[in-house]
Chain A
């Protein structure tokens, strides 16, 4: 078969179909009109987000994340403080409710956030393969690269949503249960409530950035299998392995290369002045992970036979 390709004739041909059978589509001829150029994909991205956020599972995960600061705040309220042990910022909550969000982030960064992100990222391709929707998306046609990009972008949006959920739930329950006032930073300086909220937002962005590398790993794993549960579990396990390696002094040379290296350095945004180096380092590191695992995911997914 010759490899020279006739010019695209889909659009005119489709119009020809219409012309040949005007009566069948006659009720609404305009609705079958085709765009002459392919859309950029914002519509599909919006559709992806709506699928993600219409799942009960997504809401259950967000509710669980929101429960973390609420549990912390209520426990401290009921026991009236504590003995000073526990996660960072815990003993500041009684003085200032705005610290509930920070404490909750410290608590959720090692496990809960990676867990939910692992579920969403691990499910991205494998989940579609499992429900059988992957083949229909691909023949729609969505384009494999576009599908990967949209899936990844949706996972990143989830990272932000999850982080903001923890932070916001913490701030709200903190305001409800504890006094609120100027926030004492790690450096001992105080900033106004407004600036502290701004910094909370920055922290949410920072933590989100820290999770996008994990999302890329999850996306790649998700292209390897048709079993979403396996991809989710593998992603979560990798996040735990990374943190364990980060604790071992024997692997110290490896530490700056682990995607979890900067996770708890979000506190650099609570210094006066803000220490931006970890923000930049985090962003660069995660960018590296996204580039490497995004490329791996592309290589795997673009050459994969979709047999599910």
Chain B
């Protein structure tokens, strides 16, 4: 039996000439809280629709909860709760009536306990007080909660939440985060899509990044952070530069020219993203170094001063940063500045997906 709640291979969706999703190989481990990141228009929602059998894939295979989709749809979907591209409810029905209808649509849900199930779900999202109110009168955040309540109607193995915190106030966002954690602690796999990195960073164990219909990174958050390349930079007098280069190379930190602003896939070196459990190799290229350089002490805004050199190298995990300085000093290098940059996920995200408001085609 597969250990993945969601697995796709070469998942592709074409709308006419436009390739909305292009050869995506997702691997969502069971029990994980999986963040699905990407800017608007990067193919996240289309992928989710294919996972849930709403849209058919142009090519590729999908397995959800170990079973092929959409062939085993009727068996798979009862174990999946979903919030897809915002809530959708009958405005002329109350929140509870909406949930009762969706519960009735699930052929595996016994009618006798329907009311109790609905109450329970409403309680979990804090909507009990508004249960009898028409959805027309709900605020966006309340509708969002109701959508989440729908995903929680039955015991699920997998919960798919597309932009769950949309329209929620900070308090609501916190509650959702808390809810997701508690779901995860019950053993439910949670697949959360978002265009907000911070959200993912705070609640997910794993993440994948979509850009322009392609999956550009995937792994645990730690793996992703590592892939962000911790770099060491050393400021030395120009005269010591060659000696410092030799010492660093011996340590396993061959200095490279300062990388240019990110262009994915063009850079040599750097660790590839760790593939989850090693079973599926994510064919994601080496990651670029974040664009914004950190300043070294003594370094001016324009870079190294006259007669000084900056050496920059990827700092492997195996090498402690204090050992680097110690080795340089022991080798007679006059270290004028030393800094280690831990790349943030945000840097990584921006590097992967580009910046600005342009919707990726």
Chain A residues at the B interface, C-beta cutoff of 8 Å: 1, 3, 5-6, 8-11, 13-14, 16-18, 20-21, 24-25, 27-28, 30-35, 38-41, 43-44, 46-47, 50-51, 54-56, 131-143, 146, 303, 305-307
The answer to whether A5 and B101 touch across the interface, beta carbons within 8 angstroms, is no
The answer to whether B84 and A14 touch across the interface, beta carbons within 8 angstroms, is no
Task: How many A-B residue pairs have C-beta atoms within 8 angstroms? Tell me.
Answer: 174
Q: Which of A21, A142, A146 contacts B186 (CB 8 A)?
A: A21
A14-B79, A27-B120, A44-B104 known; A33 and B113 CB under 8 Å?
Answer: yes
A–B complex contacts, Cβ < 8 Å, 20 sampled: A9-B67, A10-B79, A14-B155, A17-B157, A20-B186, A25-B155, A30-B113, A31-B120, A35-B110, A38-B107, A39-B108, A136-B88, A137-B105, A138-B53, A138-B54, A140-B77, A140-B103, A141-B73, A306-B54, A306-B55
Name B5-26 residues within 8 Å CB distance of A. 7, 9
A55 CB to closest chain B CB, in angstroms?
Answer: 6
Interface: B361 (CB within 8 A): no
A299 to B343, CA, bound (A): 52
The answer to whether A133 and B89 touch across the interface, beta carbons within 8 angstroms, is yes
A5-B72, A10-B78, A46-B104 known; A56 and B92 CB under 8 Å?
Answer: yes
A291 to B53, CA, bound (A): 26
A21 to B31, CA, bound (A): 13
The answer to whether B55 and A14 touch across the interface, beta carbons within 8 angstroms, is no
A160 to B234, CA, bound (A): 84
A303 to B71, CA, bound (A): 13
Given contact pairs A132-B85, A141-B74, A305-B56, a sample of 12 additional A-B residue pairs in the complex whose CB atoms are under 8 Å apart:
A1-B68, A5-B72, A11-B108, A16-B187, A27-B120, A31-B113, A31-B116, A32-B154, A131-B90, A135-B84, A141-B73, A141-B77
- Residues from chain A with a CB closer than 8 A to the CB of B61 are 1
A35 to B110, CA, bound (A): 6
Name B285-328 residues within 8 Å CB distance of A. none
Interface size on B, residues (CB 8 A): 64
A5-B71, A307-B55 known; A17 and B84 CB under 8 Å?
Answer: no
A167 to B106, CA, bound (A): 37
Interface: B100 (CB within 8 A): yes
- Residues from chain A with a CB closer than 8 A to the CB of B187 are 16-17, 20-21
A158 to B356, CA, bound (A): 52
10 cross-chain pairs, A with B, having the tightest CB-CB distances, nearest first: A132-B88, A1-B61, A141-B77, A21-B186, A38-B107, A31-B113, A140-B105, A305-B55, A31-B116, A47-B104
Chain B residues at the A interface, C-beta cutoff of 8 Å: 1, 7, 9, 49, 52-56, 61-63, 65-68, 71-80, 82, 84-93, 97, 100-111, 113, 116-117, 120, 150, 154-157, 182, 185-188
- Residues from chain B with a CB closer than 8 A to the CB of A136 are 82, 84, 88, 102, 150
- Residues from chain A with a CB closer than 8 A to the CB of B92 are 54-56
A13 to B188, CA, bound (A): 11
A34-B154, A133-B90 known; A13 and B111 CB under 8 Å?
Answer: no
Q: Which residue on B lies nearest to A1, using beta carbons?
A: B61
A9-B65, A14-B154, A32-B154 known; A1 and B9 CB under 8 Å?
Answer: yes
A33 to B84, CA, bound (A): 25
The answer to whether B107 and A39 touch across the interface, beta carbons within 8 angstroms, is yes
- Residues from chain B with a CB closer than 8 A to the CB of A305 are 49, 54-56
A24 to B179, CA, bound (A): 12
A145 CB to closest chain B CB, in angstroms?
Answer: 10
- Residues from chain B with a CB closer than 8 A to the CB of A39 are 107-108, 110-111
Q: Which residue on B lies nearest to A303, using beta carbons?
A: B56
B132 CB to closest chain A CB, in angstroms?
Answer: 13
